[in-house]
Amino acid sequence: MNERFEVLVVDDDPSIRKRCVQLLHKKGYAVKGASSGIAALSMVKSRRIALVIADVRMPGLNGIELLEKIKEISPGTELIIITGYGTVESAVKAIKLGAYDYLTKPFDMDKMLKVVENVSTQFSLKEEIELLKEKLNTRSDSCDIVSISDKMLRVSKLIEKVAPIDCNVLIQGESGTGKSLIAQKIHRASPRSSNNFVVVDCASLSEALLESELFGYAKGAFTGAYANKDGFFKVADHGTIFLDEIAELPMPLQGKLLRMAQDYEIVPVGSTTPVKIDTRIIAATNRDLDELVREGRFREDLFFRLNVVRIDVPPLRKRQEDIVFLACFFLEKFKKKFAKTDLTLGQEVLASIQAYEWPGNVRELENLMQYLVVVSDGPVIKAESLPEKMIDIRGERTDDGALPPGGDFNSVRKRYLDSFTRQYLVNAMRQNKGNISSTARQINVPRSSLQRMIKRLCISDVETS
């Protein structure tokens, strides 16, 4: 039996109360008895009671009054009311007030057990659903936006502002910057979060298929259409639809999408009857839609309908401070996944990933960290494990000794400053045998600041011991 499913039997008749308690206990239920409505109410307030079985006629606080008060303080508690002959009106009133069921005296104990079993099953299903929700929330949190850069902080603040407001959103950014992650975050924080989040990759479907996939089709619309079929928009009704790579949408379909964006209705293929749809549109692209509009390759009216709020996601190379931070985050993720808990990133690897341009952005960095965890023997991931294009990139210089190209002055300066800071701290920590307090005193920085730098630069115990 579910140990969290606790039953309370309330009856001023001790023989009936004792008989019910003994029978339920024998069947494996956690059960207690109470001789009055007042005593029962006190117990419900002090502990989590899943089911109350109460007689209607009791002195002080009768069964109906007890039902009303319990529903106020513990809405999740179910109640079964026991009535005598001639008090059916009380049973009907109890059901209207939210009672799960009623039993009439003299009642069949087998019937009582059956009703309790039904409530217990329902209780277990609710608990299972809550557990799944917790796991889903944990999974969602683990997939949240991970960043320490000011640029991404501004993006996160914009997400917080736009999520509760039911308007269309356009997300622009290079491939791998996390556009779909942002779309999911907006949906999860919106009033539509309990409904469907439907993802449509506009670039992966042919023009012939895309219309029927988006808007659905009617029976007989074409060969093989043996029945009506809902499209993505219908599936996303009352939820959110994420149109990824919206710039790849063919011109004819752009016009049909415009109708949805402005009139909130669709016409399935093969039908002439409009269907009202309540769907929030989040669109994303890695191309410059402004330029496509100027070139006549994307409808201006559709652009304005989608571009109510625009979120521009900066590429990874434009937020250098996130590179090592994300590398450490993904390292921890894959260390757990592949049970390699002793791995750490070597100094040369960190220097290389800071010098690299990351054309594939965060997705490329995540894939690299997974690869490094898989191929490295540990405990320190060394430069030779890196792909050839990244080996020794940190040391490249021009013939005149200048720093190599790879960004503006500030980003390049930040890259090399982090490399110096990391090496300096590793050496200082080694001199102090890894003791943070001693190191902080020696280099004259606050202990809390040193801890933040150690975390940001992914300095491990292996390197400093």
> Do 325 and 270 share a structural domain?
no
Q: Mean pLDDT of all residues in the chain?
A: 85
Question: Does residue 58 sit within a domain?
Answer: yes
Is residue 142, in this structure, part of any structural domain at all?
Answer: no
Q: Where does a domain end: 269, 288, 314? A: 314
**Number of domains the chain contains:** 3
In degrees and rounded to multiples of 5, residue 447 shows phi and psi of: -60, -40
Query: Which are the contacts of 243, defined by CB distance < 8 A and separation ≥ 6?
Result: 200, 202, 249, 257, 281, 282, 283, 284
Q: Which residue has the higher pLDDT, 399 or 209?
A: 209
Mean pLDDT over 217-241 rounds to: 87
Single residue among 85, 106, 133 that ends a domain in this structure: 133
Query: Which one, of 111, 176, 173, 449, lies nearest residue 314 by Cα?
Result: 173
Both tokens of 250, joined, read: 């063919």
**pLDDT for residue 395:** 47
Residue 426 and residue 463 in contact, taking contact as beta carbons nearer than 8 Å: yes
- Assign residue 301 the CATH number of its domain: 3.40.50.300
- Which single residue is written with the structure tokens 């009791």? 58
In this structure, are 327 and 443 located in the same domain?
A: yes
Evaluate whether residue 145 is within a structural domain.
Answer: no
Own/partner pairs, 403-409, CB within 8 angstroms, 24+ separation: 404/355, 406/317, 406/355, 406/357, 407/317, 407/318, 407/320, 407/357
Alpha carbons 421 and 455: distance in angstroms, whole number: 13
Domain-embedded: residue 141: no
Q: Round to whole Å and give the CA distance between 101 and 103.
A: 7
State whether 164 and 289 are in the same domain.
yes
**Structure tokens given for 226:** 């043996």
Residues 297 and 322 in one domain: no
Residue type, 27: K
Q: What pLDDT, on the 0 to 100 scale, is given for residue 382?
A: 87
| Residue 189 sits in the same domain as residue 104 | no
Could you tell me if 300 and 330 lie in one domain?
Answer: no
Q: What is the mean pLDDT of residues 345-359?
A: 85
Domain-embedded: residue 393: yes
- Edge-first strand order for the sheet with 30-34 is 30-34, 6-10, 51-55, 78-83, 101-104
Q: Are residues 211 and 275 in the same domain?
A: yes
Domain that holds residue 235: 150-314
Q: What is the pLDDT of residue 360?
A: 94
Give residue-wise pLDDT tens across range 308-347: 999 999 999 998 888 888 888 899 889 989 988 878 888 7
**For residue 49, what are the contacts with CB-CB under 8 A and spacing of at least 6?**
6, 7, 8, 43, 74, 77
Cis peptide before 106 (omega within 30 of 0): yes
Q: Judge if 12 and 113 occupy the same domain.
A: yes
Query: Do residues 179 and 171 lie in contact, with contact meaning Cβ atoms separated by under 8 Å?
Result: yes
Q: Are residues 177 and 235 in the same domain?
A: yes
81-113 pLDDT, tens digit each: 888 765 667 778 888 888 888 888 887 888 899
Q: How far apart are CA 373 and CA 354, in angstroms?
A: 18
CATH assignment at residue 332: 1.10.8.60
Instruction: Let me know whether 325 and 309 are in one domain.
Output: no
**Are both 118 and 163 inside the same structural domain?**
no
User: Would the pLDDT of 139 be above 60?
Assistant: no
318 with 141: CB under 8 angstroms? Answer: no
